[in-house]
Amino acid sequence: MKKLVFCLLMLIGTLSAVSAQSGYTNPILKGFNPDPSICRVGNDYYMVTSSFEYFPGLPIYHSQDLVNWQQIGHCLTRDSQLPLHKVNASGGLFAPSLRYHDGLFYVICTNVSHGGNFYCTATDPAGPWGEPIYVGINSIDPDIFWDEDGRTYFVTQGDEAIRVTEFDIKTGTVLSEERKVWGGIGQRFPEAPHIYRKDGYYYLMIGEGGTEYAHSVTIARSRHIYGPYESCPLNPILTHCNRIGQGNPIQGVGHADLIQATDGSWWAVFLGFRVTQVYSYYHILGRETFLAPVDWPTNGWPQINGNGTVNLTMNVPTLPLKPFAPAPTRIEFDEDKLGFEWQYLRNPVRENYSLKEKKGHLMIKASPYTLDEAESVSFVSRRQTEHDFIAATTMTFQPKADTDEAGLTLIQNNTHHYDLRLIKKGNGHVIQLRVRAGSIDYIAFEQPISKSEVELKIEGAPLYYTFYYKEAGSNSYKKLGGMDTRYLSTEVAGGFTGVMIGMYASSGGKKTGTKAYFDWFEYKEGK
């Protein structure tokens, strides 16, 4: 009997631990992952973030607990879906919205450089997604709202106010005059609108203040889709641009989407950025995706995490956690495809890359374009996801011309990057750190090397990157030098993306076709 009671107590203990798990860490998507939008189908949650000039476009993530996420694909994987020819840094794809309706997933987005607003559908969010259907409305941040009477509305940003237009979801044809419905509480850039139907109201939630330090989320409601909308007395319902948010390492919170979980709880996903140091006003990782609980009384106004601010450590109950196995830190290039974490700049020239040409190696053929150009450079990259990290690779590169270069780069955009590269100098080779920060362009460090096979390593810390190299046959890394992180920050470089770590090869205007071979790549978070 005693045994039975003991077993029952153990069982109850285990069950309550599963259903009332407490706490998680923000951000939930680290590194360049802005403008999140979320939907739920049964117990599965899906999220999309924006991707600008990177290809493939619009990463799609999956979760069963809202805390742990795994990338399952991209929405736009074909050149026909995503033209990015000569797109400037932070051009291309702006904020998407992800919705599920009647058995179909919808992503609606804007290619600000080619074609404007469009949407695509898929039966499986992992893809394949259909060809874009373009909508002849000029704006950014579009969303689709399905009303209970079967009508569909195109909801979007406007210079003065959020605009709502009835449209045909099958063809993208606009069916009504556009109506300006709500201008927010008067901060700049009313954008990122989403409409939710709840308790007989249309709730219109938007981003205001612009996507920098004054960013916020505000909400209004109406009994009619076209308004008049009444502003929530608690607005803004999320911002760190106030006294409570002033010393928070997370800044710029805004651009949110709401989701109701399987257990009835409400949650917000939104963007924010982690500054390199509290009060430093520099951020390098780009805008990331955060999660906060939403308290939403019936017929009441929603409150995000109580007072509208969030933390890195969230001490709140969560859904039962379903973590994924951690991704491997080292890639040997043994597979015949790169994983979903890898991105090209603009539409890649496919023949410039191969995982088959030399077994277990990634081959990158030098393009005549350099990293300074808004072109299809020979380059493939992954996000910097933490301030503290180590990235390393072994590269074999035999430059033919003085303009040939290949290596590992930290890139915020084509005018702001640090290149740890191998080039030809006279009859020998050198390892250099080239710094490009706007019109500042110079070789910060240089060391001769005698081999064409070299290990390259970058160590990241909040304020400083340090660059190392190791010649084939040598036992230890040599330090080449270091550079402040801030010159790659969004505050210095501008734009909407974040620092990416890339392998690249360029022939600097000539057509040498020289190939670089990368044997493995390692990325580890932490000191």
- Residues acting as catalytic residues: 35, 191
Output the smallest distance, CB 279 to ligand 6LW, in A. Answer: 22
The closest alpha carbon to 365, from 376, 378, 349, 356, belongs to: 378
Q: 35 or 404, CB closer to ligand 6LW?
A: 35
C-alpha distances (whole Å) from 183 to each of 154, 218, 220, 481 are 16, 10, 10, 50
Helix (H, G, I), strand (E, B) or coil at 39: strand
Spell out where 384-525 has E strands.
389-397, 405-413, 416-425, 428-437, 440-449, 453-460, 464-471, 478-484, 500-506, 515-525
Residue 330: CB atoms within 10 Å: 10
Output the smallest distance, CB 377 to ligand 6LW, in A. Answer: 22
**CB-nearest residue to ligand 6LW:** 211
C-alpha distances (whole Å) from 36 to each of 50, 324, 331, 349 are 7, 20, 28, 29
Contact 290, 28 (CB under 8 A): yes
Q: Which residues bind ligand 6LW (CB under 6 A)?
A: 34-35, 50, 94-95, 140-141, 191-192, 207, 211, 254-255, 271, 496
Q: 93 or 377, CB closer to ligand 6LW?
A: 93
Q: 94 or 154, CB closer to ligand 6LW?
A: 94
Output the smallest distance, CB 211 to ligand 6LW, in A. Answer: 3
Q: 35 or 405, CB closer to ligand 6LW?
A: 35
Q: 235 or 506, CB closer to ligand 6LW?
A: 235
Nearest-angstrom CA–CA distance, 205 and 380: 36
Distance of CA 446 to the CA centre of its chain: 33
C-alpha distances (whole Å) from 225 to each of 139, 221, 257, 395 are 19, 9, 18, 58
Q: Which residues pair with 344 in a beta bridge?
A: 55, 380
| Residue 446 CB burial class (10 angstroms; 0-12, 13-18, ≥19) | middle
How many residues would you count in the chain? 527
Q: 28 or 362, CB closer to ligand 6LW?
A: 28
Output the smallest distance, CB 272 to ligand 6LW, in A. Answer: 10
Query: Which residue is it, tokens 């999660």?
Result: 291
Output the smallest distance, CB 385 to ligand 6LW, in A. Answer: 18
Output the smallest distance, CB 157 to ligand 6LW, in A. Answer: 7
Residue 137: CB atoms within 10 Å: 17
Q: 35 or 166, CB closer to ligand 6LW?
A: 35
Spell out where 261-346 has E strands.
266-274, 288-295, 303-304, 313-317, 330-331, 343-345
Q: 468 or 496, CB closer to ligand 6LW?
A: 496
Output the smallest distance, CB 409 to ligand 6LW, in A. Answer: 23
Output the smallest distance, CB 488 to ligand 6LW, in A. Answer: 18
The closest alpha carbon to 60, from 160, 128, 161, belongs to: 128
DSSP H or E segment with residue 2? helix 2-19
